[in-house]
Amino acid sequence: MTLLPDPNDPRLQSLRLSVLFASLPFGMLLFALPLIGRDMGASALEIGGLFSVFSLILVVVRPVVGRGLDHYGRRPFLIAGLLGYALANAVYGIASGVGGLYLARLAQGLGSGLMWLAAYAIVADLAPAEVRGGRYGQVEEMANRGAIIGSLVGFTVLGFIGRGDIGRGLESGWHALFVGYTAASLVAAAIAWRGVPETLHRSRERVSLAPASTEDAPDGIQGVWRLPGQLRILMGIVLLTASASALLSPILMIYLRDHFSANMFTLALAYLPAALAASVLPSRLGRLSDRFGRRPPLVIALLVGGLTSLAIPRLHSLWPLALLWVVEAAAFSAATPAEEALVVDVSGGERRGTAFGYYTAAAGLGGVIGPLIGGLLYDRFAAVWAFRANALLMLLGAALIVLLVREPLRPAAAEPK
């Protein structure tokens, strides 16, 4: 009988705490990066490039990092990624033009490519399949909480510097804010250094007890791992849906500022309920995929995301949109851990780092394509076409999951004695 692992495992606690500190700038970057880029004279296409260059680094780095995780271990890449985030925040802090923002995005992409792959592999090493969705949800939850905390601190600092005008505070407070975020990333690296040991040996033990199928097994001792067919299908769907999500990244805040409110604090306040939902739901809703399978949460989230995009151009107030954002956040709180757990399931238990490397590279490629398309649509055509394109790709992704994705059988969870 398989016993459920301790949810208070100190190794996972240290990992989650590191993710919390590293995630502090994420919320401010979501809101402020397009706006400060615009204030520095960037076009919508150039702002899209800020998002694409980040994802381009992920595409290049992650397959290599994934193989390195399976060869050299998880811990060195985790710590290097956290230090990469610290470097990115330092560059944001001294950037005085669009070129500086591009350099910071390059460093941030490197940090992300290292840290998140290592974190995914560590969770896969420590959590068996029957509870893996919930454990991934805990990590996602801490990232969302960090983004909320960092945003609250950031908006407070910007409002104080701007004497109540956050927009004016953005111009003068951006640099000071990222000095603090740099220090937080260094704290995250110190926590990981002290509290997260190497976990690769546990993965090897598990593989030796439950080897992968003959089709997916390595050839010989050194072996050449063949990419499982279901992982290839999932990568194609992820490429499609990641392109859809990234399509709106460079233009959403600009659209909201142009059509709803020029006050950045008002925009942040409207998004706050969804952010709070995302900070408490993933660890809970992530368990749904452990009970009911990985596919249903993915399909529901994509349907909700597509319908939300179709609704945005028809709305005339932020507050109905705030409600839609909450529903969307709840749907993706269940879907994101399910997708991450599905990667481990379909990879057959072999080469988890490599599997995540390919999977996240597909997502990164979508992140390269999507923002450029979104920026181009916003600059050359009506903004509504960007939202329609997003919805079409999301709905297509949901249909492909239903038609093409098959889940391997997993053992049922047993209650602890």
What CA–CA distance (Å, rounded) separates 110 from 389?
Answer: 29
Query: What is the structure's pLDDT at 189?
Result: 97
Of the candidates 43, 40, 278, 352, the one whose C-alpha atom is nearest the C-alpha of residue 170 is 40
Euclidean distance between CA atoms 89 and 85, whole angstroms:
6
CB 370 within 8 A of CB 242: yes
Residue indicated by tokens 């510097």: 161
Q: pLDDT value at position 130?
A: 77
- Distance CA(245)–CA(301), nearest Å, equals 12
Q: Where are the domains of the chain?
A: 10-198+226-404
CA 7 to chain centroid, in Å, comes to: 22
Specify the pLDDT at position 322.
Answer: 92
Residue with tokens 């949901």: 398
HSE toward the beta carbon, residue 232, CA cutoff 13 A: 5
Which structure tokens are listed for 124? 């896969």
Q: What is the pLDDT of residues 7-45, one digit of tens each?
A: 568 888 999 999 999 999 998 888 788 777 877 777 777
Cα–Cα distance measured from residue 334 to residue 332, given in angstroms and rounded to the nearest whole number: 5
Token pair, residue 66, equals: 């994934």
CA torsion through residues 345, 308, 239, 150, sign: negative
Angstrom CA distances, 329 to 33, 82, 223, 352, stand at 21, 26, 41, 27
Mean pLDDT by 10 residues, the chain (417 residues): 54 93 91 78 77 83 86 93 96 86 92 92 83 85 92 81 56 82 96 92 42 38 62 92 86 80 75 89 88 93 94 89 93 92 79 82 85 80 86 95 85 45
pLDDT of residue 167: 54
Strands (E), 51-181: none
Q: How far is 333 from 19, CA to CA, in rounded Å?
A: 17
Biggest CA pair distance of the chain: 67
Q: Is 291 exposed, middle or buried (0-12, 13-18, 19+ CB in 10 A)?
A: exposed
Separation in Å, CA 285 to CA 69, 105, 135, 141, 258: 28, 31, 11, 11, 35
Instruction: Report yes or no: 353 and 70 within 8 Å, Cβ to Cβ.
Output: yes
Using a cut of 0.75, tell me whether the model's pTM lies above it: no
* Distance in angstroms (rounded) separating the CA atoms of residues 62 and 76: 15
Q: What is the pLDDT of residue 287?
A: 87
Query: Which CATH code is given to the segment(s) 10-198+226-404?
Result: 1.20.1250.20
